[in-house]
Structure 1
Amino acid sequence: MMIGMTAMVAILVATVTVWLRLADETTLAPDDLGRGEYRLLRMDGSHFTQESLLGAPSLVFFGFTHCPDVCPTTLGDMAGWREDLGAEWERLRVFFVSVDPERDSAEILSDYVGWLPGLTGVTGAPEETASAIRAFRVFARKVPLEGGDYTMDHSSSILMFNASGGFFGTIAYQAPHDEALGKIRGLLGG
Protein backbone atom coordinates (compact mmCIF):
# COMPACT_ATOMS: atom_id res chain seq x y z
CA MET A 1 0.00 0.00 0.00
CA MET A 2 2.80 2.43 0.90
CA ILE A 3 4.61 1.73 -2.41
CA GLY A 4 1.40 2.42 -4.34
CA MET A 5 0.92 5.74 -2.54
CA THR A 6 4.58 6.72 -3.13
CA ALA A 7 4.21 5.91 -6.84
CA MET A 8 1.06 8.04 -7.07
CA VAL A 9 2.79 10.99 -5.38
CA ALA A 10 5.78 10.63 -7.71
CA ILE A 11 3.49 10.60 -10.77
CA LEU A 12 1.64 13.65 -9.46
CA VAL A 13 4.87 15.57 -8.84
CA ALA A 14 6.18 14.65 -12.31
CA THR A 15 2.91 15.71 -13.94
CA VAL A 16 2.86 19.07 -12.15
CA THR A 17 6.54 19.67 -13.01
CA VAL A 18 5.93 18.95 -16.71
CA TRP A 19 2.78 21.10 -16.71
CA LEU A 20 4.60 24.03 -15.09
CA ARG A 21 7.43 23.80 -17.62
CA LEU A 22 4.97 23.69 -20.52
CA ALA A 23 3.02 26.59 -19.03
CA ASP A 24 6.26 28.55 -18.78
CA GLU A 25 7.09 27.83 -22.43
CA THR A 26 3.58 28.78 -23.51
CA THR A 27 3.86 32.08 -21.68
CA LEU A 28 7.12 32.80 -23.47
CA ALA A 29 5.89 31.68 -26.91
CA PRO A 30 4.55 35.09 -28.08
CA ASP A 31 8.05 36.58 -27.92
CA ASP A 32 8.82 35.10 -31.31
CA LEU A 33 5.44 35.82 -32.88
CA GLY A 34 5.99 37.43 -36.29
CA ARG A 35 9.59 36.32 -36.43
CA GLY A 36 10.67 34.01 -39.20
CA GLU A 37 11.92 33.69 -42.73
CA TYR A 38 9.32 35.32 -44.97
CA ARG A 39 9.59 38.06 -47.56
CA LEU A 40 6.34 39.49 -48.81
CA LEU A 41 5.60 42.47 -51.01
CA ARG A 42 3.94 45.70 -49.89
CA MET A 43 1.71 47.66 -52.25
CA ASP A 44 4.49 50.22 -52.79
CA GLY A 45 6.92 47.52 -53.96
CA SER A 46 9.01 47.37 -50.76
CA HIS A 47 9.32 44.16 -48.78
CA PHE A 48 7.49 43.06 -45.67
CA THR A 49 9.70 40.98 -43.36
CA GLN A 50 10.08 40.56 -39.61
CA GLU A 51 12.07 43.81 -39.66
CA SER A 52 8.92 45.63 -40.81
CA LEU A 53 7.66 45.37 -37.24
CA LEU A 54 10.58 47.40 -35.86
CA GLY A 55 10.62 51.15 -35.27
CA ALA A 56 6.94 51.89 -34.68
CA PRO A 57 3.96 50.17 -33.07
CA SER A 58 2.16 47.95 -35.59
CA LEU A 59 -1.21 46.37 -36.19
CA VAL A 60 -1.20 43.27 -38.41
CA PHE A 61 -4.37 41.73 -39.82
CA PHE A 62 -4.52 38.65 -42.06
CA GLY A 63 -7.38 38.55 -44.56
CA PHE A 64 -8.26 38.53 -48.25
CA THR A 65 -10.00 40.77 -50.75
CA HIS A 66 -12.81 38.32 -51.59
CA CYS A 67 -13.77 38.03 -47.92
CA PRO A 68 -17.54 38.45 -47.54
CA ASP A 69 -17.71 39.69 -43.95
CA VAL A 70 -14.75 39.60 -41.51
CA CYS A 71 -12.36 41.70 -43.62
CA PRO A 72 -14.75 44.47 -44.68
CA THR A 73 -16.07 44.70 -41.11
CA THR A 74 -12.53 44.91 -39.70
CA LEU A 75 -11.52 47.57 -42.23
CA GLY A 76 -14.63 49.54 -41.25
CA ASP A 77 -13.66 49.22 -37.58
CA MET A 78 -10.16 50.46 -38.42
CA ALA A 79 -11.63 53.48 -40.20
CA GLY A 80 -13.58 54.33 -37.05
CA TRP A 81 -10.49 53.94 -34.87
CA ARG A 82 -8.50 56.13 -37.24
CA GLU A 83 -11.15 58.84 -37.06
CA ASP A 84 -11.26 58.77 -33.26
CA LEU A 85 -7.49 58.54 -32.76
CA GLY A 86 -6.68 61.35 -35.18
CA ALA A 87 -2.95 62.13 -35.12
CA GLU A 88 -2.29 59.17 -32.79
CA TRP A 89 -3.20 56.83 -35.70
CA GLU A 90 -0.33 58.26 -37.73
CA ARG A 91 2.13 56.77 -35.21
CA LEU A 92 1.00 53.25 -36.15
CA ARG A 93 2.05 50.99 -38.98
CA VAL A 94 -1.00 49.05 -40.09
CA PHE A 95 -0.68 46.01 -42.35
CA PHE A 96 -3.33 43.95 -44.15
CA VAL A 97 -1.58 40.68 -45.08
CA SER A 98 -3.37 38.61 -47.71
CA VAL A 99 -3.91 34.91 -47.03
CA ASP A 100 -4.97 34.50 -50.69
CA PRO A 101 -1.88 35.26 -52.78
CA GLU A 102 -3.37 33.50 -55.82
CA ARG A 103 -5.96 36.26 -56.25
CA ASP A 104 -4.58 39.19 -54.23
CA SER A 105 -1.92 40.97 -56.25
CA ALA A 106 -0.40 44.23 -55.01
CA GLU A 107 -2.65 46.11 -57.45
CA ILE A 108 -5.82 44.39 -56.24
CA LEU A 109 -4.82 44.97 -52.61
CA SER A 110 -4.14 48.62 -53.35
CA ASP A 111 -7.68 49.01 -54.65
CA TYR A 112 -9.11 47.09 -51.69
CA VAL A 113 -7.34 48.94 -48.84
CA GLY A 114 -6.32 52.19 -50.56
CA TRP A 115 -9.34 54.09 -49.26
CA LEU A 116 -8.03 53.83 -45.67
CA PRO A 117 -5.00 56.12 -45.21
CA GLY A 118 -2.16 54.49 -43.31
CA LEU A 119 -3.13 50.92 -44.19
CA THR A 120 -0.58 48.94 -46.20
CA GLY A 121 -1.59 45.88 -48.19
CA VAL A 122 0.87 42.97 -48.21
CA THR A 123 0.96 39.93 -50.49
CA GLY A 124 3.50 37.52 -51.90
CA ALA A 125 4.22 34.14 -53.37
CA PRO A 126 2.21 31.27 -51.86
CA GLU A 127 5.30 29.78 -50.17
CA GLU A 128 6.25 33.12 -48.60
CA THR A 129 2.67 33.70 -47.49
CA ALA A 130 2.63 30.24 -45.87
CA SER A 131 5.88 31.10 -44.06
CA ALA A 132 4.37 34.35 -42.75
CA ILE A 133 1.21 32.55 -41.63
CA ARG A 134 3.38 30.12 -39.63
CA ALA A 135 5.54 32.93 -38.20
CA PHE A 136 2.50 34.88 -36.97
CA ARG A 137 0.71 31.66 -35.93
CA VAL A 138 -2.51 32.61 -37.63
CA PHE A 139 -4.96 30.26 -39.28
CA ALA A 140 -5.71 30.28 -43.00
CA ARG A 141 -7.20 27.55 -45.15
CA LYS A 142 -8.60 27.37 -48.66
CA VAL A 143 -12.20 26.13 -48.74
CA PRO A 144 -13.52 24.84 -52.09
CA LEU A 145 -16.90 26.09 -53.24
CA GLU A 146 -19.27 24.76 -55.87
CA GLY A 147 -18.32 25.57 -59.44
CA GLY A 148 -14.56 25.43 -58.84
CA ASP A 149 -14.35 28.70 -56.88
CA TYR A 150 -13.05 28.92 -53.32
CA THR A 151 -13.06 31.07 -50.23
CA MET A 152 -10.64 31.31 -47.32
CA ASP A 153 -11.18 30.56 -43.66
CA HIS A 154 -8.79 32.70 -41.60
CA SER A 155 -8.02 34.12 -38.18
CA SER A 156 -9.99 37.24 -37.46
CA SER A 157 -8.05 38.99 -34.68
CA ILE A 158 -5.70 41.91 -35.22
CA LEU A 159 -2.22 41.31 -33.85
CA MET A 160 -0.49 44.21 -32.08
CA PHE A 161 3.30 44.67 -31.90
CA ASN A 162 5.31 47.26 -30.01
CA ALA A 163 8.04 49.37 -31.64
CA SER A 164 10.63 46.71 -30.78
CA GLY A 165 8.65 44.13 -32.75
CA GLY A 166 7.45 42.36 -29.62
CA PHE A 167 3.96 40.91 -29.48
CA PHE A 168 1.72 43.22 -27.44
CA GLY A 169 -1.71 41.59 -27.70
CA THR A 170 -4.74 41.24 -29.94
CA ILE A 171 -7.91 43.06 -30.83
CA ALA A 172 -10.70 40.54 -31.25
CA TYR A 173 -13.02 40.60 -34.24
CA GLN A 174 -15.84 43.08 -33.58
CA ALA A 175 -14.35 44.12 -30.24
CA PRO A 176 -16.30 47.00 -28.71
CA HIS A 177 -15.04 50.30 -30.15
CA ASP A 178 -13.84 51.76 -26.83
CA GLU A 179 -12.09 48.51 -25.88
CA ALA A 180 -10.17 48.51 -29.17
CA LEU A 181 -9.25 52.19 -28.76
CA GLY A 182 -8.00 51.47 -25.24
CA LYS A 183 -5.79 48.65 -26.50
CA ILE A 184 -4.37 50.80 -29.30
CA ARG A 185 -3.71 53.68 -26.91
CA GLY A 186 -1.99 51.22 -24.58
CA LEU A 187 0.17 50.07 -27.49
CA LEU A 188 1.01 53.69 -28.26
CA GLY A 189 2.03 54.19 -24.63
CA GLY A 190 -0.76 56.37 -23.48
Structure 2
Amino acid sequence: MTRLQKVLWAAVAVAVIAAGGLAVYGSRAPEVATDTASSVSAAFELTDHDGVVRTAEDFRGKWSLVFFGFTNCPDICPTTLGEIAQVMDDLGPQADAVQPLFISVDSERDRPDQLAEYVPQFHPSILGLVGTPEQIEAAAASFKIFYERVPEETAPDGYTIGHTSQVFLFDPDGGFVRLYGYGTPAPEITADLRARIDAHG
Protein backbone atom coordinates (compact mmCIF):
# COMPACT_ATOMS: atom_id res chain seq x y z
CA MET A 1 0.00 0.00 0.00
CA THR A 2 1.39 3.40 -1.00
CA ARG A 3 1.80 6.36 1.39
CA LEU A 4 -1.17 8.13 -0.21
CA GLN A 5 -3.37 5.06 0.03
CA LYS A 6 -2.59 4.73 3.74
CA VAL A 7 -3.39 8.39 4.33
CA LEU A 8 -6.66 8.21 2.43
CA TRP A 9 -7.71 4.99 4.12
CA ALA A 10 -7.05 6.63 7.49
CA ALA A 11 -9.16 9.62 6.45
CA VAL A 12 -11.98 7.32 5.35
CA ALA A 13 -11.83 5.45 8.66
CA VAL A 14 -12.13 8.67 10.61
CA ALA A 15 -15.01 9.84 8.44
CA VAL A 16 -16.86 6.58 9.04
CA ILE A 17 -16.41 6.92 12.79
CA ALA A 18 -17.56 10.53 12.65
CA ALA A 19 -20.63 9.56 10.64
CA GLY A 20 -21.50 7.09 13.40
CA GLY A 21 -21.50 9.87 15.98
CA LEU A 22 -18.45 8.62 17.88
CA ALA A 23 -16.08 11.46 16.99
CA VAL A 24 -17.25 14.58 15.26
CA TYR A 25 -14.68 17.34 15.55
CA GLY A 26 -14.04 18.75 12.10
CA SER A 27 -16.01 21.50 10.39
CA ARG A 28 -15.88 23.52 7.20
CA ALA A 29 -16.16 27.28 7.29
CA PRO A 30 -17.47 29.67 4.61
CA GLU A 31 -15.50 29.47 1.37
CA VAL A 32 -13.90 32.40 -0.41
CA ALA A 33 -16.61 33.85 -2.65
CA THR A 34 -16.02 34.33 -6.37
CA ASP A 35 -16.55 38.09 -6.12
CA THR A 36 -13.98 38.26 -3.31
CA ALA A 37 -11.32 36.09 -4.93
CA SER A 38 -10.03 38.92 -7.10
CA SER A 39 -8.72 40.68 -3.98
CA VAL A 40 -6.87 37.62 -2.64
CA SER A 41 -3.13 38.04 -2.13
CA ALA A 42 -0.36 36.00 -0.53
CA ALA A 43 1.19 38.12 2.20
CA PHE A 44 2.57 36.45 5.31
CA GLU A 45 5.51 36.07 7.66
CA LEU A 46 5.42 32.61 9.23
CA THR A 47 7.82 29.95 10.49
CA ASP A 48 8.21 26.77 8.46
CA HIS A 49 8.46 23.28 9.92
CA ASP A 50 12.25 23.50 9.84
CA GLY A 51 12.19 26.62 12.02
CA VAL A 52 12.96 29.09 9.22
CA VAL A 53 11.02 32.36 8.99
CA ARG A 54 9.34 32.59 5.59
CA THR A 55 7.47 35.19 3.56
CA ALA A 56 5.62 34.90 0.26
CA GLU A 57 8.68 36.33 -1.48
CA ASP A 58 10.62 33.14 -0.68
CA PHE A 59 8.42 31.19 -3.10
CA ARG A 60 8.61 33.46 -6.12
CA GLY A 61 9.63 31.58 -9.25
CA LYS A 62 7.34 28.64 -8.48
CA TRP A 63 3.64 27.96 -8.69
CA SER A 64 2.28 27.83 -5.12
CA LEU A 65 -0.53 25.58 -3.91
CA VAL A 66 -1.68 26.94 -0.53
CA PHE A 67 -4.03 25.24 1.93
CA PHE A 68 -5.06 26.28 5.45
CA GLY A 69 -5.74 23.71 8.18
CA PHE A 70 -4.40 22.20 11.40
CA THR A 71 -2.74 18.96 12.46
CA ASN A 72 -5.64 17.74 14.64
CA CYS A 73 -8.10 18.05 11.74
CA PRO A 74 -9.63 14.56 11.34
CA ASP A 75 -10.86 14.59 7.76
CA ILE A 76 -10.77 17.73 5.60
CA CYS A 77 -7.05 18.41 6.05
CA PRO A 78 -5.68 14.88 5.58
CA THR A 79 -7.96 14.33 2.60
CA THR A 80 -6.83 17.55 0.90
CA LEU A 81 -3.16 16.99 1.74
CA GLY A 82 -3.49 13.50 0.29
CA GLU A 83 -4.86 14.96 -2.93
CA ILE A 84 -2.02 17.49 -3.10
CA ALA A 85 0.48 14.68 -2.54
CA GLN A 86 -1.06 12.78 -5.45
CA VAL A 87 -0.82 15.89 -7.64
CA MET A 88 2.88 16.25 -6.85
CA ASP A 89 3.53 12.59 -7.66
CA ASP A 90 1.55 12.75 -10.89
CA LEU A 91 3.27 15.91 -12.12
CA GLY A 92 6.55 14.03 -12.37
CA PRO A 93 9.44 16.34 -13.38
CA GLN A 94 7.02 19.29 -13.55
CA ALA A 95 6.58 19.05 -9.77
CA ASP A 96 9.85 20.99 -9.46
CA ALA A 97 7.91 24.05 -10.62
CA VAL A 98 5.36 23.77 -7.78
CA GLN A 99 5.59 24.49 -4.04
CA PRO A 100 2.72 23.24 -1.85
CA LEU A 101 2.23 25.15 1.43
CA PHE A 102 0.15 24.06 4.44
CA ILE A 103 -0.58 26.99 6.77
CA SER A 104 -1.79 26.06 10.25
CA VAL A 105 -4.58 28.12 11.82
CA ASP A 106 -3.96 26.49 15.21
CA SER A 107 -1.17 28.50 16.84
CA GLU A 108 -2.01 27.11 20.27
CA ARG A 109 -1.31 23.45 19.46
CA ASP A 110 0.71 23.49 16.23
CA ARG A 111 4.39 24.27 16.52
CA PRO A 112 7.13 23.78 13.91
CA ASP A 113 8.10 20.42 15.45
CA GLN A 114 4.48 19.16 15.27
CA LEU A 115 4.29 20.24 11.64
CA ALA A 116 7.66 18.59 10.94
CA GLU A 117 6.20 15.27 12.11
CA TYR A 118 2.84 15.68 10.39
CA VAL A 119 3.27 17.38 7.01
CA PRO A 120 6.07 15.25 5.44
CA GLN A 121 3.99 12.11 6.04
CA PHE A 122 1.88 13.22 3.09
CA HIS A 123 4.67 14.34 0.75
CA PRO A 124 8.24 15.60 1.26
CA SER A 125 7.61 18.61 -0.97
CA ILE A 126 4.82 20.05 1.20
CA LEU A 127 6.03 22.75 3.58
CA GLY A 128 4.19 23.45 6.82
CA LEU A 129 3.95 27.01 8.14
CA VAL A 130 2.73 28.39 11.47
CA GLY A 131 3.01 31.58 13.48
CA THR A 132 1.68 33.62 16.35
CA PRO A 133 -2.07 34.29 16.55
CA GLU A 134 -1.40 37.75 15.12
CA GLN A 135 0.68 36.39 12.22
CA ILE A 136 -1.96 33.80 11.35
CA GLU A 137 -4.70 36.42 11.53
CA ALA A 138 -2.75 38.65 9.14
CA ALA A 139 -2.19 35.77 6.71
CA ALA A 140 -5.86 34.80 6.83
CA ALA A 141 -6.87 38.40 6.09
CA SER A 142 -4.56 38.47 3.07
CA PHE A 143 -5.99 35.24 1.67
CA LYS A 144 -9.55 36.25 2.66
CA ILE A 145 -10.07 32.93 4.48
CA PHE A 146 -12.26 32.33 7.53
CA TYR A 147 -11.39 30.27 10.60
CA GLU A 148 -12.74 30.02 14.13
CA ARG A 149 -12.20 27.96 17.26
CA VAL A 150 -15.20 25.75 17.99
CA PRO A 151 -15.73 24.02 21.39
CA GLU A 152 -16.04 20.24 20.92
CA GLU A 153 -15.84 17.85 23.85
CA THR A 154 -14.70 14.86 21.79
CA ALA A 155 -11.86 16.73 20.10
CA PRO A 156 -8.28 16.90 21.42
CA ASP A 157 -8.05 19.62 24.11
CA GLY A 158 -11.80 20.18 23.82
CA TYR A 159 -11.90 22.21 20.64
CA THR A 160 -11.71 22.02 16.88
CA ILE A 161 -11.28 24.71 14.23
CA GLY A 162 -13.67 25.46 11.43
CA HIS A 163 -11.79 26.81 8.42
CA THR A 164 -12.05 27.60 4.73
CA SER A 165 -11.13 24.44 2.85
CA GLN A 166 -10.24 25.66 -0.64
CA VAL A 167 -6.76 25.30 -2.17
CA PHE A 168 -5.23 28.50 -3.57
CA LEU A 169 -3.04 28.64 -6.67
CA PHE A 170 -0.53 31.47 -7.19
CA ASP A 171 1.68 31.94 -10.23
CA PRO A 172 5.50 32.23 -10.15
CA ASP A 173 5.20 36.03 -9.87
CA GLY A 174 3.04 35.71 -6.77
CA GLY A 175 -0.20 36.60 -8.53
CA PHE A 176 -3.42 34.88 -7.49
CA VAL A 177 -4.65 32.53 -10.23
CA ARG A 178 -7.59 30.48 -8.97
CA LEU A 179 -9.23 28.43 -6.22
CA TYR A 180 -9.74 24.67 -6.22
CA GLY A 181 -12.84 23.79 -4.24
CA TYR A 182 -12.73 21.17 -1.49
CA GLY A 183 -12.94 17.73 -3.04
CA THR A 184 -11.49 18.71 -6.42
CA PRO A 185 -9.97 15.43 -7.71
CA ALA A 186 -6.19 15.26 -7.96
CA PRO A 187 -6.28 14.46 -11.73
CA GLU A 188 -8.26 17.65 -12.37
CA ILE A 189 -5.76 19.78 -10.44
CA THR A 190 -2.84 18.03 -12.14
CA ALA A 191 -4.26 18.63 -15.63
CA ASP A 192 -4.88 22.31 -14.87
CA LEU A 193 -1.37 22.78 -13.45
CA ARG A 194 0.27 20.97 -16.37
CA ALA A 195 -1.44 23.28 -18.84
CA ARG A 196 -0.43 26.39 -16.92
CA ILE A 197 3.19 25.27 -16.46
CA ASP A 198 3.46 24.46 -20.16
CA ALA A 199 1.92 27.80 -21.17
CA HIS A 200 4.17 29.73 -18.82
CA GLY A 201 7.22 28.17 -20.42
Partner of 1:151 in structure 2?
Answer: 160
Match of 2:187 among 178, 184, 188: 178
How far apart in 1 are the matches of 2:160 and 2:93?
36
Query: SS of 2:100's equivalent?
Result: strand
Q: Number of aligned pairs? A: 164
Q: Tell me the residue number matched to 1:128.
A: 135
Residue 177 of structure 1 deviates from its aligned partner by 3.0
**Which residue identity lines up with residue 140 of structure 2 in the other structure?**
I
1:100 is paired with a residue whose SS is: coil
- Alpha-carbon displacement from aligned partner over 1:37-93 (angstroms, at most 9, x marks no partner): x42111122223232342211111001000010011011111211221111112111
The structure in which a higher percent of residues are helix is: 1
> Following the alignment from structure 1 to structure 2, what is the Cα–Cα distance between the partners of residues 60 and 173?
12
In structure 2, C-alpha distance between the alignment counterparts of 1:56 and 1:106, rounded to whole Å: 23
Which of the numbers 77, 81, 91 marks the counterpart of 1:85? 91
- Aligned-pair Cα RMSD in Å: 2.1
TM-score by length of 2: 0.74
**Which residue in 1 is equivalent to 2:198?**
189
The match for 1:57 among 56, 63, 73 is 63
Q: 1:31 to 1:117 in 2, by over 3 A?
A: same
Q: Percent identity?
A: 37
Counterpart CA distance in 2 for 1:43 and 1:123 is: 8
Give me the TM-score of the superposition, normalised by structure 1: 0.78
Larger radius of gyration: 1
24, 33, 46: which is aligned to 1:40? 46
